């Protein structure tokens, strides 16, 4: 069976998620399209890199990502670094003929994202794969929703209402990290999590054409934590510690019009007490409605207008072997999958794309479109008017 040697850059929370994904491909999907082999892990912090090598079972570690690009044995690169380095690492890896799985958002600016999409297009003719890690579109319930939409089961889409709400930065004592700094993150809640639901909204209803937004920063500075590690609010810092400015949004909401005539809205914040990984996407069509909530990711709520009036309403479908990625959903609906299985689905699709030489979603071109929507959202919050997605 083909093996794909992996170089992984960025050994934090997201690096761990990619490792869980790769390691479980042959365990959950058999026969696997290819078996990922963990070759080199890179982190700028040597202790973290060394520790990750041992813990995750890589053959070697480095603190210099260029070593991964220059290693002729490495077939594929996972990019799990802060957003500002996605473009330079992806472009170098693709030009070196390596397949790339890059974390989201694809980049900090649409100019960089455009360059990435262009390089991805150039190397695609040689069978080099470029994929952006918008994993939530791969949740079996989300894939099933897409199937129902495509089959026409809910008719023409009228409205897509999506939210991505978390609470990990709601506490002012949650420390500063790169996620609150424009030079590293590009945008705040909008870029970090709003992009996931923009991706799903466009997956369901096609391109967003224009937006009008309201974007705010409520917590304007945060305490600096020693080392600055991105721990997603799991540690709190003494409120009297030195503080530094937050220069990205912590609350973004917008209305949108799709090219196909549908309307919708998106809200994103990491400051919503009580909401954890609250991704909801509700689609209303001329013949029914669909509701997905990631906090209940094994379920899809559906309502069909043709049902008799006295029993019409939302019903719950539990995903399992009858749905997409049935191999991974265990044998009985209700046994349930979680974030680890979802990252395994993503790794599986990456392996499959490499073997089949077929560009997977979310392609760099699609991820570039997501970045352009974000730019229109930020532009609209300045102009206080509808802005076209350029």
Q: For binding to ligand SOE (CB under 6 A), which residues are involved?
A: 166, 192-193, 232, 270
Distance, in Å, from the CA atom of 332 to the CA atom of 165, rounded to the nearest integer, reads 30
Q: How far is the CB of 270 from ligand SOE (least distance, A)?
A: 6
SS (H, E, C) 203-250: HHHCCEEEEEEEEECCCCEEECCCCCCCCCCCCCCCCCCCEEECCCCC
Look-up: residue for tokens 């096609």?
A: 206
Q: How far is the CB of 196 from ligand SOE (least distance, A)?
A: 6
Encoding tokens for residue 248?
A: 């990205």
Which residue number, 128 or 139, has a Cβ lying nearer to ligand SOE?
Answer: 139
Residue 181 exposed, middle or buried by CB count within 10 Å (0-12, 13-18, 19+): buried
Q: How far is the CB of 370 from ligand SOE (least distance, A)?
A: 12
Query: DSSP readout, 250-270?
Result: SEEEEEEEETTS-EEEEEEES
Q: How far is the CB of 314 from ligand SOE (least distance, A)?
A: 25
The strand ranges marked E within the chain are: 3-9, 35-42, 60-62, 76-79, 99-102, 130-132, 157-165, 208-216, 221-223, 243-245, 251-258, 263-269, 278-285, 288-293, 299-304, 315-318, 387-388
Which residue number, 97 or 228, has a Cβ lying nearer to ligand SOE?
Answer: 228
Encoding tokens for residue 284?
A: 């209303």
Which residue number, 219 or 355, has a Cβ lying nearer to ligand SOE?
Answer: 219
Which residue number, 4 or 106, has a Cβ lying nearer to ligand SOE?
Answer: 106
Distance, in Å, from the CA atom of 227 to the CA atom of 76, rounded to the nearest integer, reads 30
Q: How far is the CB of 388 from ligand SOE (least distance, A)?
A: 27
Say if CB 370 and CB 199 are below 8 A apart.
yes
Say if CB 27 and CB 36 are below 8 A apart.
no
Show Cβ contacts of residue 249 under 8 Å, excluding neighbours closer than 6 positions: 187, 188, 189, 190, 215, 216, 217, 378
Which residue number, 164 or 258, has a Cβ lying nearer to ligand SOE?
Answer: 164
Encoding tokens for residue 287?
A: 């013949």
Q: How far is the CB of 209 from ligand SOE (least distance, A)?
A: 25
Q: Looking at beta carbons, which residue is closest to ligand SOE? A: 192
Which residue number, 177 or 289, has a Cβ lying nearer to ligand SOE?
Answer: 177
Q: How far is the CB of 365 from ligand SOE (least distance, A)?
A: 20
Which residue number, 17 or 123, has a Cβ lying nearer to ligand SOE?
Answer: 17
Which residue number, 210 or 230, has a Cβ lying nearer to ligand SOE?
Answer: 230
Task: Provide the 3-class DSSP secondary structure of residue 357.
Answer: coil
Q: How far is the CB of 97 from ligand SOE (least distance, A)?
A: 28
């Amino acid at each position: 069976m083909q093996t794909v040697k992996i170089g992984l850059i960025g050994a934090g929370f997201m690096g761990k998620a990619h490792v869980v994904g790769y390691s479980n491909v042959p365990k959950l999907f058999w026969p696997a399209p290819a078996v990922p082999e963990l070759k080199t892990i890179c982190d700028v912090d040597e202790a973290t890199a060394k520790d990750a090598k041992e813990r995750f079972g890589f053959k070697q570690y480095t603190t210099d990502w260029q070593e991964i690009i220059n290693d002729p044995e490495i077939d594929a690169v996972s990019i799990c670094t802060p957003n500002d380095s996605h473009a330079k690492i992806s472009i170098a890896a693709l030009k070196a003929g390596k397949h790339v799985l890059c974390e989201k958002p694809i980049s900090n600016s649409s100019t960089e994202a455009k360059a990435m999409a262009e390089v991805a297009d150039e190397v695609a003719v040689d069978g080099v794969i470029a994929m952006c890690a918008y994993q939530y579109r791969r949740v079996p319930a989300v894939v099933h929703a897409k199937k129902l939409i495509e089959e026409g089961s809910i008719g023409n889409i009228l409205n897509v209402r999506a939210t991505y709400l978390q609470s990990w930065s709601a506490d002012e004592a949650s420390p500063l990290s790169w996620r609150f700094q424009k030079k590293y993150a590009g945008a705040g809640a909008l870029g970090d999590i709003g992009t996931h639901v923009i991706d799903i909204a466009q997956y369901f209803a096609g391109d967003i054409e224009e937006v009008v937004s309201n974007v705010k920063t409520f917590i304007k500075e945060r305490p600096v934590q020693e080392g600055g590690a991105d721990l997603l609010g799991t540690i709190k810092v003494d409120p009297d510690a030195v503080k530094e400015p937050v220069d990205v949004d912590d609350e973004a909401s917008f209305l949108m019009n799709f090219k196909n005539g549908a309307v919708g809205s998106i809200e994103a914040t990491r400051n919503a007490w009580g909401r954890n990984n609250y991704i909801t996407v509700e689609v209303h069509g001329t013949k029914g409605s669909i509701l997905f909530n990631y906090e209940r990711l094994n379920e899809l709520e559906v309502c069909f207008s043709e049902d008799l009036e006295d029993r019409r309403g939302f019903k719950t479908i539990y995903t399992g072997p009858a749905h997409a990625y049935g191999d991974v959903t265990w044998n009985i609906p209700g046994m349930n999958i979680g974030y680890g299985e979802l990252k395994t689905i993503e790794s599986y699709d990456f392996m499959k794309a490499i073997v089949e030489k077929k560009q997977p979603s979310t392609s760099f071109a699609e991820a570039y479109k997501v970045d352009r929507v974000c730019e229109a959202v930020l532009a609209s919050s300045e102009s206080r008017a509808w802005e076209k997605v350029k």
